[in-house]
């Protein structure tokens, strides 16, 4: 019988961040990438062996994942994966609603210096996309959205978005590995930036919502192995 492919990468013991942070990051990415089924039990011993670590940083990482809601501890079953397709769909819709309103207000409130910086970031994203640098794209994507958040001067809405920031980063890493997706996302980010820079509030809101929903559909298709058409537009 052939061995199942490893779902985690063995960690280097000489790491700069804490071992718990690396364990947590690996497990979170694996869950958001769909490598574990909803309801699947996570064996601490098996995970520790795959990662090449003791159970101490693993237990700490699992507690952090439970605080984020990605796993839960059940009586007589242990730690099981809670994250799944339904939750992912809800988070996509929640992010689309929040980000689109933030973009609307950013278009209304953005200052000239912030507008120039946003346009520059969009161009840097184009360079990273052309170079197929997925890591740089993920980082620039965060900068892009952060600039919009700051330009909007929305305190409450941005605080709500912060609660799912870990999800956004994880899904971006999944979808930016696809060259076709990088091209689509770049065109959408340029459209969003242009609408905000020219103070088109309605256009910025629509472009942002369309981008979040479409990229979310792509993420669902990649992770849950089927094309989703039932997310409200």
Q: What is the DSSP letter of 1?
A: -
Residue in the structure block whose two tokens are 């197929």: 132
Is the confidence at residue 158, as pLDDT, over 50? yes
Tokens of 21: 């942070």
pTM equals: 0.79
Which neighbouring-strand residues pair with 78? 74
CATH code linked to domain 19-81: 1.10.10.10
- Residue ranges matching CATH 1.10.10.10 in the chain: 19-81
Confirm if 222 and 178 have CB atoms less than 8 A apart. Answer: yes
- Look at strands 78-81 and 71-74 and give their pairing: antiparallel
pLDDT tens for 100-126 read 999 999 999 999 999 999 999 999 999
CATH class for the domain made up of 85-224: mainly alpha
Confidence of residue 5 (pLDDT cuts 50, 70, 90): low
Angle at 28 between CA 59 and CA 8, to 5 degrees: 80
d(C-alpha 209, C-alpha 200), whole Å: 14
- Residue ranges matching CATH 1.20.120.530 in the chain: 85-224
Helix (H) or strand (E) holding 154: none
């Amino acid at each position: 019988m052939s061995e199942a492919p490893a779902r985690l990468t063995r960690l280097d013991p000489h790491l700069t961040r804490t071992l718990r942070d690396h364990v947590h990051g690996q497990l979170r990415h694996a869950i958001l990438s769909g490598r574990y089924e909803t309801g699947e039990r996570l064996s601490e011993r098996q995970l520790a062996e795959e990662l090449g670590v003791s159970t101490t940083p693993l237990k700490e990482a699992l507690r952090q994942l439970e605080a984020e809601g990605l796993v839960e501890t059940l009586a007589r079953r242990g730690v099981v994966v809670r994250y799944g397709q339904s939750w992912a769909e809800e988070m996509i819709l929640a992010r689309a609603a929040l980000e689109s309103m933030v973009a609307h207000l950013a278009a209304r409130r953005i200052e000239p210096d912030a507008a120039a910086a946003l346009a520059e970031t969009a161009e840097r994203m184009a360079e990273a996309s052309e170079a197929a640098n997925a890591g740089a794209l993920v980082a620039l994507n965060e900068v892009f959205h952060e600039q919009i958040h700051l330009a909007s001067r929305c305190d409450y809405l941005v605080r709500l978005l912060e609660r799912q920031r870990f999800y956004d980063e994880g899904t971006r890493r999944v979808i930016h590995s696809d060259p076709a997706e990088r091209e689509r996302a770049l065109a959408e980010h340029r459209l969003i930036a242009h609408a905000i820079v020219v103070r088109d509030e309605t256009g910025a809101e629509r472009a942002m919502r369309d981008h979040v929903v479409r990229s979310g559909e792509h993420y669902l298709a990649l992770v849950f192995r089927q094309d989703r058409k039932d997310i409200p537009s």
